[in-house]
Chains A and B, each alone.
Chain A
Amino acid sequence: MPNFNFRPLWRYSDQFIDGVLTTLLLTVSATMIGLIIGIIGAIVLRGGPKPARIAVRTYIEIIRNTPALLQIFIIFFVPPTIGLKFSPIQASIVALSIYFGAYASEILRSGLNSIPASQIEAGLCLGLTRWQVLSRIVLPPAIRNIYPSITSQFVLLLLGTSIASQVSADELFHAAGFIDSRTYRSFEVYALTCGIYFTLVVLFKIAFALVGRAAFRWPTRR
C-alpha cells in the first residue's frame, strides 16, 4: 500500500490560494475581453462587409484548429524578438482572450441566428426602434439560447488556463509545479490540484444553474 502524505502541503496553502486567485483572474479577464471580441465578431459575421467577414472567419478557424498551447507560445515568445515584452500573465490573458473570443463569436452568432427574421420584422412593423427590437425582442431569447454553451465554454476556459503555467504564469497549475519541486510529493500535489479545479468547476456550475433559473423564467412555447 503506497503511503500518501498530504501533510507537507499544508505549509504551501498560501501558494495554492494565490494560484487559485490568479487562475480566476486569468479566467475572468479572458472571458470579459473574449466576450467583447465575440460580440464584435458575431456582428461582423452577420452583417459586415465581405472582407471583414472573411477576416473574422479566418481568425475563428485558425484559433479553433490549432492548439491553445501553441497560441500561448506564439503570444509569449514572439513579441520579445521584435523588442516588445509581455509578462507571463499579460501574454496569457491576451492569448486566452483571443482563444475565447473565437469560440464566443461562433456561439453568439448562432444565438443571434436562432431568432427568426420574422420576429424582427414584426417588431419593426409595430413601430419599435432598432434598439428596442434588439433589446426587447432579439436579445432576451438569444441570450437564453446561448447561455448553456457560453457557460460551458467558460468552464472549459477555466480548465484551459492551466496551460498558462507553460509560460510560467503563476496560476494554480504553476503553483502546483512549484510546490511539487519543494516537497517531492508529486502525486499528492497534483491530486489536490485536480481537486481544487474540480471544486471550482462545480461551484461555477451551481452558480450558473442558479443564475440561469432565476434569469430565464419565461416559458419558451405555449
Chain B
Amino acid sequence: MRQFSFSDLLFLATALEWTFLMAAIALAFGVPVGLALALARTSGSAVLRTVATALIELIQGIPLLGLLMFFYFGIPVLVGKDVPTVVAVGAAYTIYTAVFLGDIWRGGIQAVRQAQWEAGACLGLSWLQQFVHIIAPQAFRIALPATVGFLVQLIKNTSLASVVGLVELARAGQMISAGTFQPLLVYTLVAAIYFTICFPLTTWSRTLEARLNGAR
C-alpha cells in the first residue's frame, strides 16, 4: 500500500489527455456524420429519411457500453484482423456522437419554417445554397444550447471507455484507487476534474438557451 502522491496527479493529468482526445475524435468524425444524418432525416427522399431514422432509433436504443463492446469485439471479427483499441473505441464514440447530434440538429432544421426553404428556392438558390445561407445559420442558433449540452454528455461518457481498457481519467482513477486504497480521495478528485470541465459548459448551454428564448 502506498500514499496518494504527486506522481498520481501527473498520472491523472496524462489520463485527462485521453479523455479530451476521445472527445475530440468523437467530434471530429461525429460532427460530419451527424450533419449528414440530420440532412437525411429532413430530406425529401423517403428512403434517406427512413434509413436515418432507423439508425438514430437503433443507436439511441442501446447502451453506449454495449456499443463500445460491439465495436471492440465486432470490428476485429468483421475486418478479420485486430485493430488498436483507440480505433474501435473511436468508432463507437463517433457513431454515438453522430446519432445524438443528428437528432439535435434535425430538431434545429425542422424548427426553421419550411417557407424559408421555398423563399430560397424562389430566389433561385440551389438546395445547398438554401441550406448554407438561409437554414443552417438559424438552425445552428436554435440547436446550439442542446449541442453544448450533448458535449457535456460526451465528456462524461468518455469515462465508459475505461471498460475496454483505455486509460482515460476514470480508468486512471480506478488504478490509483486500487493502489492507494483511498477511494474517497481519488474518486472525489476525479469527479471534481470532470465537474470542472463540464460545469462551465452546462452554464454556457443554459445562458445560450436563455438568450435564445429571450430573443423570441
Binding site for B on A (CB under 8 A): 2, 4, 61-62, 64-71, 73-74, 77-78, 81, 155, 159-160, 162-163, 165-166, 173, 176, 186-187, 190-191, 193-194, 197-198, 201-202
Contacts and interface: CB of A to CB of B under 8 A. Distances in A.
B202 A61 contact: yes
Nearest to B152: A65
Contacts of B188: 74
A190 B74 CA distance: 9
A78 B61 CA distance: 32
Contacts of B198: 64-66
B66 A190 contact: yes
Given A62-B191, A194-B66, 13 more contacts: A2-B80, A65-B152, A66-B156, A67-B191, A68-B156, A69-B159, A74-B183, A165-B65, A176-B69, A186-B73, A190-B69, A194-B62, A194-B63
B187 A61 contact: no
Contact of B61 (A165, A176, A197): A197
B191 A70 contact: yes
Given A65-B194, A74-B187, A81-B183, A197 B63 contact: yes
Interface residues of B, number: 39
A69 B153 CA distance: 12
Interface in B61-117: 61-67, 69-70, 73-74, 77-78, 80
Interface of B: 58, 60-67, 69-70, 73-74, 77-78, 80, 152, 156-157, 159-160, 162-163, 170, 173-174, 177, 181, 183-184, 187-188, 190-191, 194-195, 198-199, 202
B56 to A, nearest CB: 12
Describe B's contact surface by its main secondary structure: helix
A191 B74 contact: yes
Contacts of A186: 69, 73
A162 B63 contact: yes
Contacts of A62: 191, 195
A70 B194 contact: yes
A69 B173 CA distance: 11
A77 B187 contact: yes
7 contacts: A66-B156, A67-B156, A67-B159, A73-B173, A74-B183, A173-B66, A194-B67
